Amino acid sequence: QSALTQPASVSGSPGQSITISCTGTSSDVGGYNYVSWYQQHPGKAPKLMIYDVSNRPSGVSDRFSGSKSGNTASLTISGLQAEDEADYYCSSYTGSSTPVVFGGGTKLTVL
Amino acid sequence: QVQLVESGGGVVQPGRSLRLSCAASGFTFSSYGMHWVRQAPGKGLEWVAVIWYDGSNKYYADSVKGRFTISRDNSKNALYLQMNSLRDEDTAVYYCARDNVGGAGYFFDYWGQGTLVTVSS
Per-residue pLDDT tens digits for A12-69: 999 999 999 999 999 999 999 999 999 999 999 999 999 999 999 999 999 999 999 9
DSSP code at position A84: G
pLDDT at B106: 86
Give the model's pLDDT for residue A1. 66
User: What is the rounded CA–CA span in Å between residue A88 and residue A66?
Assistant: 13
Chain centroid, CA A88 distance in Å: 6
Cα separation values, A4 from A95, A106, B24, B62, Å: 15, 11, 30, 16
- Cα–Cα distance for residue pair A107/A24, rounded to 1 Å: 19
Q: Note which residues in 44-103 of chain B have CB less than 8 A from chain A.
A: 44-47, 50, 59-62, 95, 97, 100
Could you give the CA distance from residue A68 to residue A91 in angstroms, rounded to a whole number?
Answer: 13
A2: contact with B, CB 8 A cutoff: no
Query: Are the beta carbons of A45 and B114 separated by less than 8 Å?
Result: yes
Answer whether B50 sits within 8 Å of A97, measured CB to CB.
no
Instruction: Provide the shortest C-alpha distance from residue B16 to chain A (in Å).
Output: 25
Alpha-carbon gap, residue B15 to B70, rounded angstroms: 18
Question: Distance (Å) from the C-alpha of residue B78 to the closest C-alpha of chain A?
Answer: 19
Chain A: residue whose CA lies nearest to B99:
A100
